Structure 1
Amino acid sequence: MDKTPLVSIIIPNFNHSRFLRERLESVFNQTFEDFEVILLDDASTDSSVEILEEYAKDPRVSHLVVNKENSGSPFRQWQRGIELSQGKYIWIAESDDSCDPDFLLTCVAMMKNNPKAVIAFGGSITIDENSSKIEIDNDRWYDKRFKRRQGECRVFDGIRYITHNLIWINYIYNASGTLFRRDAYGDGSEFESCMRMRNAGDWLFWSIMATKGDVIEIYRKLNHFRFHSGSTTREGVNKGKSNGNLFDEDFIVLRHIFENTRIPTLRKMIRLGALMKKIQRAQMSEEDRKAAYHKGKELLKYNKKDYLTERISKTLSNFIPGISTIRNDRL
């Protein structure tokens, strides 16, 4: 490439040959053109590498890296791509998703207009394995308090975004719909814990990243987020559909948030109580449940008072608006 690109687009792939052309076409056909593409394959066993080699002939592709052995974590591929990147902004375009042609144009403009921002993300249309739209809306814009309008955006202080939003759930649920600043990643040492995770690494990643500056929510559905039938999602875990394997990572994320931000005592107690309730209701053996309780207590220091506070607040929230606000603390 003749000059340093403004955006580095990282496409980490593993066995997504079925969706790969759709993803690559949506990237190379962006209306914003100042970018490089970094293609990564994590030892796929399908025809992915042949497709990537075909697209690697495009002059905008700066790297094609094919692993001989699987890395064991999708977030290791994030790390590799970021290390190779040259751009001011990073877009991790997951290989099974696709997007609107104006995705980059919109997000880059928002970041340029808000120099303190480190993250800009939009909404997603959920699609199935055949790229057909399905009625699953992961964006939490349209409740009674937040009447977000299509096309609008809001800028939030990053710490407040963590303590009001990310403490409850990973609102930045899809990397493919997100642009972030490369300099906020630094040398990557702060993010090393994310790279060892298999499921909650993105939740921790955005929780760390948001400490570096502002967060922009763009109320446009610029991304196509693919939902795979039979997949285990974090939303499923929140509904109790888990064998307990994901709780260890939940504990790590919440411990990081509690240690690095100032959470009001009542909000913290309610959040810990909600976690205890989730463990109690999860589908797992009693032996696994006891082990999860013990590990959570060890890492987060929760106790029965937290559980009772959450249960009482749940009951009172029907009568006392202030309690309801704490329980539904979304900015």
Structure 2
Amino acid sequence: MVPLAVEYPAWAGYMQRTTALPPPVIRDPTQPLVSIVVPSLNQGRFIGETLRSILDQRYPNLEVWVIDGGSTDETPAILRTFADDERLHIVVGEDKGHADAINCGWARARGAIVAWLNSDDTYYPDAVATQVAALHAHPYAVAAYTGASYTDEQGRVLRTIAARPYHPLALLRLLIPMQPTVFLRREAVGKAGPLDCRLRYAFDTAYWMQIARYGPFIATDTILATYRLHPTSKTVAQFAGFYREWLQIAEESFAALPHLRPARRAVLADIYAAMANLEARRGQLPMALRYAGYAFTLAGWRPRLAKLPLALIDRLFDSDIADRIGSWWGWRTRR
């Protein structure tokens, strides 16, 4: 078993960070090794729960790489409590951001299957075993994903999102996949190369489109991870940068993939409709109406626009009607 950076030229730029590595822990030679990267920076209040959710998995062969960008909170102390687990490897040092930290970890990966789990998210107990089995059962698939639960800062489940069917356009519409649930084949990651470090907010979507060039994703009809929403998470706090990158990725994908171009106006309309709903939820009505107008101009009425009045109601009455209906619809359309 060799690190990804040794086997695939696209990862050679990370080779200088890949020195002699401790041997992986193999408890069952009949099962593949799974490599999981945890990018970390000042998430000490969550990272202990994240790591326990990985190390307590009912799966025999794991290596876990924590890539910590120099945390100054309680993270170092918490990481020391895991020092006796030989499956866990910790790399501390300044990186170039979230995507770069994942690349740094994956460059070291020896596993046949790889994943990353952000330091504020968690796995349910059978997440790894389920996704390994899914990829084994579907040898043509390059990645497996499932549904997930959104949780609040205290870990309480807010709502559960089903895994909808796979299609490349669903990737661009952000209908799929829930990032914490994604497990990828080593070969696809090796060929696709590193995540784009120029992106800060939507590099995962860009990477799914990159990976999809090598084969389809497979959805598992279960719930295997949690996605934590809290005031400091990028998903919650920094909409403008996310919008910009989402649109950029969509346009670049249509430019690179001619077979998807007929759907360009409809997909961009759906992106603007989603942006309108998010702005309505934030109470930014003029911006919400502007984005809704962009969507309608591009492709007429879009089903996503039906959530706009519901998002406004949620804002006014502190309810979650739009989310509940969206979650219900996701379950209805998951197959």
Provide TM-score, normalisation by structure 2. 0.70
**2:216 aligned with 1:205, yes or no?**
no
Which residue, out of 103, 112, 118, partners 2:136?
112
Partner of 1:214: 216
Deviation per residue, 1:166-193 (Å, 9 max, x gap):
232251132x21111121122664x45x
Identity across the alignment (%): 25
* 1:272-283 superposed matches below 5 A: 272-275=268-271
Aligned pair 1:30/2:57, yes or no? yes
Between the aligned partners of 2:63 and 2:300, the Cα distance in structure 1 is 50
Q: Shift in Å at residue 223 of structure 1?
A: 0.8
Quote the residue 2:243 is aligned against: 247
Q: In the alignment, residue 263 of structure 1 is paired with which amino acid?
A: L
More helix by share: 2
Q: Look up the equivalent residue of 1:172 and give its one-letter code.
A: P
In the TM superposition, residue 271 of structure 1 has moved relative to its aligned partner by: 2.4
Aligned partner of 2:188 in structure 1 is 184
Q: Is the 8 A contact 2:141 2:218 kept in 1?
A: yes
1:26 Cα deviation after fit? 1.3
Query: How far apart, CA to CA, are the structure 2 residues paired with 1:88 and 1:26?
Result: 21
* Alignment partner of 1:139 out of 145, 162, 180: 162
Distance 2:65 2:234 in 1: 28
Assess if the C-alpha contact under 8 Å between 2:163 and 2:221 holds in 1.
Answer: no
Provide the residue aligned with 2:312 in structure 1.
none
Shift of 1:218: 1.0
Displacement after TM superposition at 1:280 (Å): 8.2
Q: Aligned residue for 1:94?
A: 118
How many matched pairs?
273
Alpha-carbon distance, 1:3 to partner: 6.4
Which whole-Å CA distance do the structure 2 matches of 1:108 and 1:181 have between them? 10
Tell me if the contact between 2:229 and 2:235 (Cα under 8 Å) persists in the aligned partners.
no
Note closer, same or farther for the CA distance 1:2–1:308 as it changes in structure 2 (3 Å cut).
closer
SS state of the match for residue 178, structure 2? coil
Of the three residues 64, 69, 72, the one matched with 2:90 is: 64
1:58 deviates by 1.1
The answer on whether the counterparts of 2:270 and 2:302 sit within 8 Å (CA) in structure 1 is: no
| 1:108 counterpart letter in structure 2 | V
Residue in 2 that maps onto 1:21: 48
Task: Give the CA deviation at 1:139.
Answer: 3.2
**CA spacing shift, 1:280–1:119, aligned 2, 3 Å:** closer
Q: Does 1:75 align with 2:99?
A: yes
RMSD of aligned alpha carbons: 3.5
The CA deviation at 1:37 is: 1.3
Q: State how far apart, in whole Å, the 2-side matches of 1:200 and 1:170 are.
A: 14
- Structure 1, residues 124-178: CA drift from partner, whole Å, max 9, x if none? 12222212222x334365xxxxxxxxxxxx7x5xxxx213x1232251132x211
Q: Which stretch has the larger CA shift, 178-187 or 29-38? A: 178-187
Alignment of 1:143-154 (within 5 A): none
Question: Secondary structure of 2:73's partner?
Answer: coil
Shift of 1:80: 0.5
1:120 CA drift (Å): 0.6
The 3 A distance-change label for structure 1 pair 56 and 127 is same
Deviation at 1:30, TM superposition (A): 0.8
Contact 1:276 1:307 (C-alpha < 8 Å) held by counterparts: no
Q: 1:172 to 1:312 in 2, by over 3 A?
A: closer
Match of 2:172 in 1: 167
For 2:299, the equivalent position in structure 1 comes to 310
Amino acid of the residue matched to residue 171 of structure 1? I
Letter in 1 for 2:168: I
Q: 2: CA distance between counterparts of 1:187 and 1:140?
A: 26
Instruction: Pick from 224, 227, 244 the counterpart of residue 226 of structure 2.
Output: 224
Give the residue type in structure 2 aligned to 1:205: Y
Q: Distance in 2 between matches of 1:14 and 1:230?
A: 12
The one-letter amino acid of 2:64's match is V
Render the CA deviation track for 1:183-204: whole Å, top value 9, x for unaligned: 1122664x45x22211110111
- Give the Cα–Cα distance (whole angstroms) in 1 for the partners of residues 136 and 245 of structure 2: 34
Q: For 1:46-61, list aligned pairs within 5 A.
A: 46-61=73-88
Q: In structure 1, what is the Cα distance between the partners aligned to 2:176 and 2:186?
A: 21
> Is 1:263 equivalent to 2:260 in the alignment?
yes
Give unmatched runs, 5+ long, in structure 2.
1-22, 27-31, 307-332
Structure 1 residues 24 and 255, CA gap change in structure 2 (3 angstroms)? same
Q: Could you give the per-residue CA deviations for residues 51-102 of structure 1, whole angstroms, max 9, x where no partner exists?
A: 21331331112x31111x3x35211111111101111101212211122111
Q: Tell me the secondary structure at the aligned position of residue 160 of structure 2.
A: coil
Deviation, 1:312, is 5.7
